[in-house]
Structure 1
């Protein structure tokens, strides 16, 4: 019985091309007490592998957080499988704004301590006492209220390429970091200001809103379904779009274009740019923003040193990597001394 992915990303990409089918990229989450996450995880893998589902799914005692792609002609089967799970019946599925058949190239279903790494002790507060959910129209109205403080609950490399007009964008590496910073900045306005939050798909705001209510904030609101659902409603209902730039996503697409605004700059030359790349030196793999001109000049590398290493034969690169950890950890995305415009 196969319970793990056995194909490489390259092998999977070839199979997708050969299949010639359009795929849908979707995401969803649900907080729910799962007694046996490992058994639930194995069940999902078996069912979804049979449907040719690909993606990154986290399962824990507190629920599920899923980003995945599925062949369009099997979407109904996936929905039927989800509806057969009581706590996922009629779950809202966030459909990606921009589709790409290769948004995911592997099926990874992992058991984690938490479905979002928030660093919080959930036993100290009621995680179900959440803030008020707002749709796109209601969010715009609240955003326009002068008594509202709108906060982006995402990390710096996400909000850098796109954010709501007038939002506070904490310069943080982790979700946990933003919680304390926001509380400190708004400590004198816990009762008289509207705290309005948003994130990619809504999951971070679910926990954050309950946390802030526990910390004494009286007027807590959150964008239901996050930026993804907001964009869908804006397009379908003709609502004014208040989001500027791109929405960062955690798959091979890296971002979805929400508006024509370019709100960030190339980390190497400073020119307007919102294209994330990974350094072509596999021992580095730093995520940063690079314009086409710098990409051509630097061969999609973040530094001259990485450019020289990436130009070496593959076997020589492997030898250089032996015994060394990744030089840029995941929490240092977009930060490096070699980047003139993002340190």
Structure 2
């Protein structure tokens, strides 16, 4: 019987990837669709992608598919042919990473979930496939030049902190589910104005566009392909770049530079900086912004407390980590009181 998951130790796979000389393409894609049996589809999808060397993280749910992966460059055309074997993925847009060394992922994980984007909603009356109008980069620029247009960043606070579009509303939220309700409340008396949303690759703002249409907003638009596709089109077509700063990404890179502006600062000393990192103390693993000087001073930790912990014997470090659940804290703790210059 075939094993439909990777059984090799993660640390071994990471080291193997670091030493691998194969050229890989990092990309993402998503598609909202009605999938009758997500578990069956998940297994089928694994048998399509694993043999051609695809690595990364793919979520499958009854509402569709969401993928962040890397593909061996030599197998890229084969990969596209494999996608065509899935009817609703035939003409899928692939968001190719802007800054890419091919080392973003080290194993293939395909996971079935309740939803491909957690939204906290229990409203079965809105159809997630009834989306807003897609805008390419040129039309996004034109529409957002209008005085009456509302631009909303559907990402979380730690993402918009290092980069966002001009005049965008950037909700101070930790999760997409918080963003949905926060934006709805903020714009409840503006339902007749053009509403343009964006996110990293399009998946969150596409669901949001369906939700706000359902809630009575009259002119709902989204940036097709998100920031990633926008940056590609701006570069290829010579358009004005209205995005300022860096685009946060959910892999080991933690960011892609879109413009030269640095709009955030080091959370420890306050100097201009937009480099995200995770605290080196594995019992903390806090996500925060740290400059090179502070990385050296604190040994890549978020505080003197964590710096002291990483220098303890391994037995003591393990004892301190016992029972600690990192999970969403990794991102929420960007608000930690340890950080003097947090947003």
TM-score, length basis structure 1 = 0.96
Q: Distance in 2 between matches of 1:120 and 1:19?
A: 42
The 4+ residue runs of structure 1 with deviation greater than 6 A are none
Cα deviation code 1:2-43 (max 9, x no counterpart): 222223344224433554111000110011111111121122
Segments of 5+ residues of structure 2 without an aligned counterpart are: none
Structure 2 match to 1:71: 72
Given that 2:157 and 2:172 are in contact with CA atoms closer than 8 Å, whether structure 1 keeps it comes out as yes
How far residue 330 of structure 1 moved from its aligned partner, in angstroms, is 4.1
Structure 1 match to 2:242: 242
How far residue 311 of structure 1 moved from its aligned partner, in angstroms, is 1.2
Q: Distance in 1 between matches of 2:184 and 2:96?
A: 32
Structure 1 match to 2:254: 254
* Local SS of the residue matching 2:92: coil
User: Relative to structure 2, which stretch is displaced further, 38-47 or 139-148?
Assistant: 38-47
Structure 2 match to 1:209: 209
Give the paired residue count. 342
Q: Distance in 2 between matches of 1:166 and 1:324?
A: 39
How far residue 333 of structure 1 moved from its aligned partner, in angstroms, is 4.3
Given that 2:285 and 2:330 are in contact with CA atoms closer than 8 Å, whether structure 1 keeps it comes out as no
1:134-173 pair list within 5 angstroms: 134-173=135-174
Task: Tell whether 2:310 aligns with 1:310.
Answer: yes
Task: Tell whether 2:219 aligns with 1:219.
Answer: yes
Given that 2:158 and 2:331 are in contact with CA atoms closer than 8 Å, whether structure 1 keeps it comes out as no
Q: Distance in 1 between matches of 2:20 and 2:337?
A: 44
How far residue 229 of structure 1 moved from its aligned partner, in angstroms, is 0.7
Task: Tell whether 2:61 aligns with 1:60.
Answer: yes
* Local SS of the residue matching 1:21: coil
Q: Distance in 2 between matches of 1:288 and 1:338?
A: 11
Q: 1:333 to 1:24 in 2, by over 3 A?
A: farther
How far residue 249 of structure 1 moved from its aligned partner, in angstroms, is 0.6
Structure 2 match to 1:107: 108
TM-score, length basis structure 2 = 0.96
Structure 1 match to 2:289: 289
User: Relative to structure 2, which stretch is displaced further, 240-249 or 326-335?
Assistant: 326-335
Given that 1:286 and 1:328 are in contact with CA atoms closer than 8 Å, whether structure 2 keeps it comes out as no
How far residue 138 of structure 1 moved from its aligned partner, in angstroms, is 0.2
Q: Distance in 1 between matches of 2:175 and 2:155?
A: 8
